Structure 1
């Protein structure tokens, strides 16, 4: 029996039962925003796209791209590998759990894995379609990509530091294989962020965050923020990191901007490099010289957790046990408990070179760490005994990588 399939069997059965609940009304405050122009094909609000099939369990896979632009998928359930169309040599990769936004010379190539999850708050729907290369979004410089909760609705923000352009993409169009710019504006900056908020976006200036409407016009909604450095969308709202902490933007037609300052008296570097299990309200970031930050967006509160070793990447699982998964400078994966900071366990060193395109990603059961030097991906069980569950060897070497189907 496939060990991954056995672990997913119970959630899959629950997902099938949950289909009956779709007619129930979800709490409005926690429903992810949708763009006006981004209604999915089929029954509204369930993430259907024409030509896709709904499946019983998360269609998890690794999307890997080699240094020359060769792309492939490795199914995490049955181990089947699939070759995809080539892209240009990658500079970096960002993903929302479905699309790979691959920074290349000349812009961002967008690859649709054809695998996604629709978050219906109290349950989920899972879909598969044929993977494809959507096309090139032109731009200058290694792009900064900010994604939302849903791949078939809402929008995605892309900032090009070489040209200072901020672009907002229509996710519904992406799901149809089209690149449609909701707007493209010149910011006059080489260091900004654009983060999606339904069919609108929040764009940073040198000293504040400004809400722009779907035509790209600045509105009167702003919040103080210097040094905007990263964004992440949680179930509660959009988070933007700032020098003094974070700004949380929530609400619908009239969004609310809330400042969440760092706690006083903590000698740790500020950060905006947030990471967490998709959609969960608690997110994490490494805090130099050691330790990590946790931001609970429900409680509007920061927590600094000290560690004995420096950490390079930190991801909050935000599960019942409060697991936090981290990569240290020696290539070990370490697992901590959020509430106490206790280290639950650690692997042996897994990657020799932790620079460049090393990605640490996780779902509710496993973490994945790419090892480009060995053309391998390490699958790590992080709950209970911390161990390497499998070492996978994708047909396409994982120079850059994303886990998709989430």
Structure 2
């Protein structure tokens, strides 16, 4: 047995959170997540496959939101944010980095990646959503050298997931359909020059970074399902990637590359920074799938990249946040975590509208404190205490709950999105 469930000893006030979903029979639409018509131009061609019915899963009436908590030694537990039930899983490798696509947690150290399937996810059909629950599982591992960069797509049951190992230069693309059935199947494993690189899913293939003579990334190559190059574009110092409904984003020294693939046709577009811009963004974060993403670099502030308008906007701040993520809701909320452990909320004009008291110890060091947002809440973990704070960013940055998972949340990701 790899898991068992129990109720947490700490009783949480769950009645308000149960209202996170909208209860509908069959197809569900979330007003806060509903896209504009432009969003139909998805970066993925997967929207028609397996509509509604998923073998081995039960359709849920609302998003089955969970927190996956992993401590420094690799112990793992799942906390159901709707009913408070907690599930313990078998341990994984001691993490150096943890990434999620909204279903899986990809736990990396310098020898490979372990995969945790939370059994909770959302299928985004652009104009409506389906929500699913399945039995949590540990499908297995992907071997490689160096702490991997993991790049995910829009859907956990279709398309692919990219895993790039910097020390060995192995660029691996995993089949998400197989992964959803508990099988780790590599559809690509390319060997390139070792570097801090990226492989990100694009259509049936991938976008892969290529190092120049000095070892720095010089360009991005789009490859097909067999690994053959179909297109390429310059991208100096490529760093940071995220997928929105409209495009795959990769950060470059002079802007970003937006990549799309539709009916076998690949398009790579450069979106340059404005002249005299702040330092480039090297990491990106946003509410899953939303067109506007937040970018962090070395500058004192946050970049906002609108993948619909293909434009940048700089939000100046007194310091560089430790983390920042774009909600991209009607109020254009931007949420940040600063080095003093406070969570700040900004509106679309860049004006600060709310902030918490200090919640996180040593937020700017160690790389373990993380910030994630969904349609109504933000979550930030405090590795010093193992707790996770749930924040209503639209209600004056109110701390709605302080959650104490059975496994200390040295690393945490939210799934079911």
The alignment's TM-score, normalised by the length of structure 2, stands at: 0.89
Q: Is the 8 A contact 1:169 1:179 kept in 2?
A: yes
Shift of 1:112: 0.3
Report SS of the residue matched to 1:265. coil
Alpha-carbon separation, structure 2, partners of 1:49 and 1:104: 32
Which residues of 2 match residues 167-316 of structure 1 at below 5 A?
167-205=172-210, 206-219=217-230, 221-252=231-262, 253-266=264-277, 268-316=278-326
C-alpha change, 1:165 and 1:129, in structure 2 (3 Å) is same
Aligned to 2:7: none
Alpha-carbon separation, structure 2, partners of 1:288 and 1:348: 25
Which residues of 2 match residues 348-359 of structure 1 at below 5 A?
348-354=357-363, 355=365, 356-359=367-370
Alpha-carbon separation, structure 1, partners of 2:274 and 2:28: 40
Greater helix percent: which structure?
A: 1
Aligned to 2:214: none
Alpha-carbon separation, structure 2, partners of 1:153 and 1:403: 20
Q: Is the 8 A contact 1:85 1:132 kept in 2?
A: no
Alpha-carbon separation, structure 2, partners of 1:65 and 1:304: 34
C-alpha change, 1:383 and 1:242, in structure 2 (3 Å) is same
Q: Is the 8 A contact 2:18 2:82 kept in 1?
A: no
Aligned to 2:334: 324
C-alpha change, 1:47 and 1:166, in structure 2 (3 Å) is farther
- Structure 2 unmatched ranges of 5 or more: 1-10, 30-36, 211-216
Report SS of the residue matched to 1:269. coil
Q: Is the 8 A contact 1:34 1:153 kept in 2?
A: no
Alpha-carbon separation, structure 1, partners of 2:148 and 2:260: 25
Is 1:51 paired with 2:74?
Answer: no
Shift of 1:11: 4.1
State the 4+ residue runs in structure 1 displaced beyond 4 angstroms: 1-5, 14-17, 26-29
Alpha-carbon separation, structure 2, partners of 1:17 and 1:2: 30
Aligned to 1:125: 130
What do the CA deviations read for 1:104-128 (whole angstroms, capped 9, x no partner)?
Answer: 3420000100000000111110000
Is 1:139 paired with 2:141?
Answer: no
Q: Is the 8 A contact 1:165 1:186 kept in 2?
A: yes
What do the CA deviations read for 1:255-309 (whole angstroms, capped 9, x no partner)?
Answer: 211110001123x221130000000000002343311100000000000011123
C-alpha change, 1:372 and 1:4, in structure 2 (3 Å) is same
The alignment's TM-score, normalised by the length of structure 1, stands at: 0.92
Alpha-carbon separation, structure 2, partners of 1:7 and 1:397: 22
Shift of 1:28: 8.9
Out of 326-335 and 145-154, give the one that drifted further: 326-335
Alpha-carbon RMSD across the aligned residues, in angstroms, is 2.0
Shift of 1:45: 3.9
Alpha-carbon separation, structure 1, partners of 2:273 and 2:39: 29
Report SS of the residue matched to 2:284. coil
Is 1:344 paired with 2:348?
Answer: no
Shift of 1:153: 0.2
Q: Is the 8 A contact 2:292 2:304 kept in 1?
A: yes
Aligned to 1:22: none
Alpha-carbon separation, structure 1, partners of 2:14 and 2:329: 18
Alpha-carbon separation, structure 2, partners of 1:149 and 1:17: 18
C-alpha change, 1:105 and 1:250, in structure 2 (3 Å) is closer
Q: Is the 8 A contact 2:219 2:236 kept in 1?
A: yes
Q: Is the 8 A contact 1:15 1:123 kept in 2?
A: no
What do the CA deviations read for 1:40-79 (whole angstroms, capped 9, x no partner)?
Answer: xxx9343643110000000001001111111100011111
Aligned to 2:373: 362
Shift of 1:30: 2.7
Alpha-carbon separation, structure 2, partners of 1:244 and 1:350: 35
- Structure 1 unmatched ranges of 5 or more: 20-25
Alpha-carbon separation, structure 2, partners of 1:32 and 1:125: 19
Aligned to 2:397: 386
Shift of 1:189: 2.5
User: Which of 162, 165, 171 pairs up with 1:160?
Assistant: 165
